[in-house]
């Protein structure tokens, strides 16, 4: 039966009372799960091989022909539900979802359906641009991800050569990426206007159901990062320069070992990475061991980088069968280990909430979803014996803790950049450069960009979130504070901290964001009183 007919059956069904309303909601949820899994499987096939014409066409068909139906028919079902006389009887069970549905209905405009379709297709075009990027290095064709190990070599000339090669390749597509962003930006602005908003910032806060914080909270967060975290990042980089015997660090000096040791080589290929992470989870927690075993057995991890594969990493769920899938681009680096730990955290979250009947409750706010993934990075970094010697484990962990410090200023830059762009709907590419460079100066950490001004002005184009999922970045900062609280709790009682995390994960999004944090034994708070003590924990460990 075709998609629209299934929605129509739900729309036409008589719902005499709250008991029947609940059954109707769960039937709708099941249909949503089936459609979400079909979309996910097509997306996975397309991103795993961007050169596969059939996979691209299958995904494009779903985006162009099925998603518009889903959007339009979902709005009809939402209205039917919200207007039902017995809705209040289910408020206790589904109230958090009802709040989100009411927000969605307020935003809905049928004119946005074709625009959403166009957005998805434009994102796919962007992915084709980035997926096709490669360089010739030492007689071999390398993906951008496969060049990462060369940025970590102790040989400074080789690092610079690799960095310049990568940067020049990206700059070849700078105009194409600017054009891609302009197209995506204009579509988003129009969507906001159609929904009655003067700017996309206010629209997206409501669309992302950010009921528990405001744009001003984000700006305050940026300022706190600038005052509390940025000096720590500068201190770390000054110590790095001193160890390297350099007056100033250049962009190619930030990823290598400051003591001149070769880059860490934790594994040879994706299969070895997957296997070693399995051993790690076996020791960390029996529940994680069981869930990861399913990922391995069912081959639900695509780890290796290869030509034609879309960049980046993600975890996506096949909702009908309730199993997660992990996509990444491993190239044998230390960072790849943390990427798999991170995405496994998301996967375990999906396993934890698989028993949530309502499809909507298995879609978790990013602010908490990233707590699950970032906590795995921190807890996993304490036991890397399958990958490294004791000394190299300490080295890897030091890098991870320093990366947490450097993450916060980057979060502030990316988020502030978007706040500025999306409240200036008529900005030009030139304006965009100026805004970006001003933020680079505001959060400057001591890297010397002299003579590399063009590369610096386009460095925002490396951040795929700006193209694919706007305003999905401050969540990393909020969640990192949550993960650090989990980590601090684990220092006192590892098993209790993990149990509380899993308990909170099982709730899905059935509770508001602050309640999810509370269930995990942590606070939903990104004020200085939370940031300062957590930053001290990191710095104290780094000085051990």
Tell me the HSE value of 221 on the side-chain side, using a 13 A CA sphere. Answer: 29
Bridge partners of residue 142, in order along the sequence: 135
Instruction: Please report whether residue 13 resides in a domain.
Output: yes
Decide if pLDDT at 544 tops 80: no
Instruction: Please report whether residue 57 resides in a domain.
Output: yes
Residue 193 is classified by DSSP as H
Decide if pLDDT at 105 tops 60: yes
pTM: 0.91
Q: What is the mean pLDDT of residues 402-417?
A: 97
Instruction: Please report whether residue 196 resides in a domain.
Output: no
Q: Evaluate whether 307 touches 143 at the Cβ level (below 8 Å).
A: yes
Q: What is the mean pLDDT of residues 151-173?
A: 95
Q: Residue 21's pLDDT is what?
A: 98
Q: Determine what percent of the chain falls in helix, strand and coil, rounding each to the nearest 5.
A: 70, 5, 25
CA 205/CA 193 separation, integer angstroms: 14
Q: Which two tokens stand for residue 367?
A: 């602010």
With CA atoms as reference, report the closest residue to 170 among 331, 339, 311.
311
Instruction: Please report whether residue 50 resides in a domain.
Output: yes
Decide if pLDDT at 482 tops 70: yes
> Model confidence over 496-541: pLDDT tens digits?
999 999 999 999 999 999 999 999 999 999 999 999 999 999 999 9
Residue 58 is classified by DSSP as H
Instruction: Please report whether residue 33 resides in a domain.
Output: yes
Number of domains comprising the chain? 1
Query: For the purposes of burial, counting CB atoms within 10 Å of the CB of 2, is it exposed (0-12), middle (13-18) or buried (19 or more)?
Result: exposed
> Model confidence over 106-141: pLDDT tens digits?
999 999 999 999 999 999 999 999 989 999 999 999
| pLDDT bucket at 25, cuts 50 / 70 / 90 | very high
Decide if pLDDT at 312 tops 90: no
What lies within 8 Å, CB to CB, of 454 at 6+ separation is 171
3-state secondary structure (DSSP) of residue 258 = coil
Distance from the first to the final alpha carbon of the chain: 64
Decide if pLDDT at 148 tops 90: no
Instruction: Please report whether residue 492 resides in a domain.
Output: no
- Count of Cβ atoms closer than 10 Å to residue 188 Cβ: 19
Q: What is the mean pLDDT of residues 35-60?
A: 95
- Please enumerate, as own/partner, the contacts of 523-530 that have beta carbons within 8 Å and a separation of 24 or more: 523/485, 524/212, 524/367, 524/478, 524/482, 525/481, 526/217, 526/221, 526/224, 526/477, 526/478, 526/481, 527/220, 527/224, 528/224, 528/227, 528/228, 530/481, 530/485
Q: Which two tokens stand for residue 492?
A: 């006192």
Instruction: Please report whether residue 102 resides in a domain.
Output: yes
In this structure, of 130-144, 176-190, 227-241, the range with the lowest mean pLDDT score is 130-144
What lies within 8 Å, CB to CB, of 283 at 6+ separation is 383
In this structure, of 258-262, 294-298, 452-456, 532-536, the range with the lowest mean pLDDT score is 258-262
Q: Residue 311's pLDDT is what?
A: 83
Instruction: Please report whether residue 45 resides in a domain.
Output: yes
CA 363/CA 349 separation, integer angstroms: 10
Exposed e or buried b for every residue in 331-341, given b needs 16+ CB within 10 A?
A: bbbbbbbbbbb
Exposed e or buried b for every residue in 61-98, given b needs 16+ CB within 10 A?
A: ebbeebbebbbebbbebbebbeebeeeeebeeebebbb
Continuous H helices in 173-229: 174-194, 200-207, 215-224
Q: Calculate the average pLDDT of the chain.
A: 95
Q: Which domain holds residue 81?
A: 3-108
Q: Evaluate whether 505 touches 372 at the Cβ level (below 8 Å).
A: yes
| pLDDT bucket at 74, cuts 50 / 70 / 90 | very high
| pLDDT bucket at 307, cuts 50 / 70 / 90 | confident
Decide if pLDDT at 1 tops 60: no
Q: Evaluate whether 456 touches 441 at the Cβ level (below 8 Å).
A: no
């Amino acid at each position: 039966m075709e998609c629209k007919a299934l929605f129509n059956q739900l729309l036409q069904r008589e719902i005499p009372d709250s008991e029947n309303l609940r059954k109707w909601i769960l039937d709708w949820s099941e249909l949503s799960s089936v459609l979400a899994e079909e979309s996910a499987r097509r997306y996975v096939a397309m991103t795993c091989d961007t050169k596969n014409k059939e996979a691209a066409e299958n995904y494009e068909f779903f985006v162009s022909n099925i998603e518009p139906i889903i959007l339009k028919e979902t709005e009809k079902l939402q209205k039917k539900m919200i207007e039902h006389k017995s809705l209040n009887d289910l408020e206790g069970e589904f109230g958090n979802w009802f709040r989100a549905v009411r927000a969605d209905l307020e935003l809905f405009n049928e004119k946005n359906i074709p625009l959403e379709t166009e957005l998805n297709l434009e994102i796919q075009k962007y992915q084709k641009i980035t997926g096709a990027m490669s360089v010739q290095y030492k007689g071999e064709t390398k993906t951008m991800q496969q060049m990462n190990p060369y940025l970590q070599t102790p040989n400074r000339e080789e690092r610079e050569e690799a960095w310049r090669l990568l940067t020049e390749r990206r700059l070849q597509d700078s105009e194409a990426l600017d054009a891609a962003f302009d197209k995506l930006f204009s579509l988003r602005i129009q969507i906001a206007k159609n929904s009655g908003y003067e700017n996309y910032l206010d629209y997206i806060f409501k669309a992302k159901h950010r009921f528990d914080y405001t744009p001003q909270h984000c700006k305050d967060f940026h300022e706190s990062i600038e005052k509390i975290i940025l000096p720590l990042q500068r201190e770390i980089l000054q110590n790095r320069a001193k160890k390297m015997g350099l007056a100033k660090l250049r962009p190619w000096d930030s990823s290598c070992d400051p003591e001149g040791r070769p880059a860490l080589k934790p594994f040879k290929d994706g299969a070895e990475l997957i296997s070693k992470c399995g051993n790690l989870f076996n020791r960390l927690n029996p529940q994680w061991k069981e869930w990861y075993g399913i990922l391995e057995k069912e081959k639900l991890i695509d780890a290796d980088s290869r030509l034609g594969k879309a960049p980046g990493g993600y975890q996506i769920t096949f909702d009908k069968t309730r199993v997660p899938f992990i996509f990444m681009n491993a190239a044998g680096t230390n960072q790849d280990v943390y990427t798999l730990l991170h995405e496994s955290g998301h996967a375990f979250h999906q396993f934890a909430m698989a028993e949530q009947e309502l499809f909507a409750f298995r879609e978790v706010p990013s602010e908490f979803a990233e707590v699950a993934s970032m906590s795995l990075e921190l807890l996993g970094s304490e036991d890397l014996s399958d990958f490294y010697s004791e000394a190299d484990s300490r080295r890897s962990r030091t890098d991870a803790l320093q990366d947490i410090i450097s993450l916060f200023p980057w979060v502030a830059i990316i988020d502030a950049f978007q706040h500025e762009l999306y409240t200036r709907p008529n900005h030009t590419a030139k304006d965009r450069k100026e805004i970006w460079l001003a933020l680079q100066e505001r959060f400057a950490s001591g890297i010397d960009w002299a003579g590399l001004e063009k590369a610096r002005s386009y460095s925002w184009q490396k951040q795929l979130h700006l193209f694919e999922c706007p305003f999905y970045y401050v969540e990393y900062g909020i969640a990192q504070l949550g993960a650090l609280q989990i980590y601090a709790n684990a220092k006192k009682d590892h098993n209790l901290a993990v149990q509380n995390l899993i308990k909170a994960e099982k709730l899905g999004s059935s509770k508001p964001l602050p309640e999810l944090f509370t269930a995990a034994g942590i606070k939903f708070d990104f004020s200085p009183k939370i940031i300062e003590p957590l930053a001290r924990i990191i710095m104290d460990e780094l000085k051990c």
